[in-house]
Amino acid sequence: MPTTLPAELTDRVISECILDNNTLSNCAQVSTNWLPASRHALFKYIAFDTVTKFELFVDRVLHSDRTRPYLAGVLELYITDRSSGIPQYGRVDTVKTVSSACRLILYHLSGHLPRLESMFLWGINWELYPTPRPHEPLLLSQFPSLERLTLINCHFPSFQFVRRALVALPRLSDLTLSTTSWPPPSPLQLSSIYTCTPTGPELRFLSIAPHDVGASTNGFLPWLSRTRSRHSLLNLNVGWLTPGTGAEFLEFIALVSSTLQTLSAPLTEEIPLSSLRHVEDLKLNLAAISTWEALCVRLREVECPVVRLQVSPVASPEYTEWARPSVVRGVGLDDEDFGELDAVLMNMRHLKEVTFFVSMPAQYEDTGMVLQSIWARLPKAHKQGVIVGAMLVIHHRHPSEYHDRRFHGQPDITRTPAKAPR
């Protein structure tokens, strides 16, 4: 009997543990044959959520001639400060946090991650530095292979700081901005945005949500519309907007509508669906409308070859009863005008798939009734070969509990495909 497993089987076992550092560490100690692949997997991504972890990393990895070479294989970097919130402008917190160490982290890692493809920053507040250095936004340029950048709940000292940081990334193609803010630019700074020479980044994917409902992007989208992203953007995901607000978002959608292939956005009366030309994946959030008829009216304006349509959120009768109608937004699965959607879908000649994201309480047991109900209300689309499906969005907490600290860290929702009727 062989004393070692085939390399293919060893690699398969290790690949199943790629996101579990404790298990990977155990794999590395199984035998010398398991060590190289385990160590390679351990260094595929690195994450810091405490200053102590970073200090140990510097001592045991960066200062070690034996382990430092493995940093060349790092593909993803996560820097997370769970204690950091969006502060009032000008307020500086001197507590030793990941935010306060972020600049030092990036300085230490400069030049050591030649293959880094993705960077994730959560809760980082650059205002913790009373006197930002002029070249500080160019820190990201030390990671020239970076393609994906995610900024969530971050705060920057100025828009110019953000602009210079993004321009410094020559290969950046995927950007996510969520609840990320900076002080409003002055009129002089805004005027410079409109006169700047078109340059990078050349984004293909952009996900952006305002910090406040209906807020502007404080110069970001007007500037981005004058970069090469205007002609390269293929996938746009827009956050929550209320009717009558978000003018910058609407203007930007209209500007890039001729190149977009995927659009995910809230459905409002102002969103320019008729200007879309090449969108094949259309994902609409219906929280701002109250009837299926309103959706039908807007879908009749669509002239692009939509192949896949996603609609959310759709409240099930069980969810409405559980969450109380006063907190349920959007349309319902049992609304009388739901059937009107059938004829509209039939007129979308390229449509092959439509998916409804149906809200359900945690105690719901799926027996196939959701899909059976949808198929019964949309008989023509279902019989003509359009794949009509549903994704159950299971809510584990009542809407009234979302701001209760006792439930911090517990999962809010999970998604699972609806079962087909028997």
At position 129, the amino acid (one-letter code) is Y
Q: What are 292-305's pLDDT values in tens digits?
A: 999 999 999 999 99
Buried residues in 72-107 as b, exposed as e (16+ CB within 10 A): ebbeebebbbeebebeeeeeeeeeebbbbbbbebbe
Q: In the prediction, which pLDDT does 95 show?
A: 47
Q: Tabulate helix, strand, coil % of the chain (nearest 5).
A: 35, 20, 45
Q: Report in angstroms the alpha-carbon separations of 57 from 18, 103, 313.
A: 19, 15, 43
**The pLDDT of residue 213:** 42
pLDDT value of residue 28: 64
State the angle between helix axes of 7-15 and 35-42 in degrees (0 to 180), rounded to the nearest 10. Answer: 30
- pLDDT single digits (tens) 307-363: 999 999 999 998 888 887 656 667 899 999 999 999 999 999 999 999 999 999 888
With a pLDDT cut of 90, the percent of the chain lying above it is 34
Question: How many H-runs (helices) and E-runs (strands) does the chain carry?
Answer: 15, 14
Lowest mean pLDDT among 109-113, 144-148, 238-242, 325-329: 325-329
- Position 87 scores a pLDDT of 41
Closest CA relative to residue 360, chosen from 349, 371, 347: 371
Between 35-42 and 21-28, two packed helices, what is the crossing angle to 10 degrees? 160
Distances (CA, A) of 272 to 79, 213, 214, 247, 277: 37, 19, 17, 11, 11
For the record, the structure tokens of 388 come out as 């009509």
What would the two tokens of residue 32 be?
Answer: 């010398």
Please check the confidence at residue 275 and state whether its pLDDT lies above 70.
Answer: yes
Residue 44 contacts by C-beta under 8 Å, 6 or more apart in sequence? Answer: 18, 73, 74, 75, 76
Q: Output the pLDDT for position 91.
A: 42
Maximum average pLDDT range among 46-55, 70-79, 295-304: 295-304
Q: Is the pLDDT of residue 85 over 50?
A: no
Query: What was the pLDDT predicted at 24?
Result: 63
Mean pLDDT, rounded, for 155-163: 87
Q: Give the confidence band of 128 by pLDDT, cuts at 50, 70, 90.
A: confident
Mean of the per-residue pLDDT values of the chain: 81
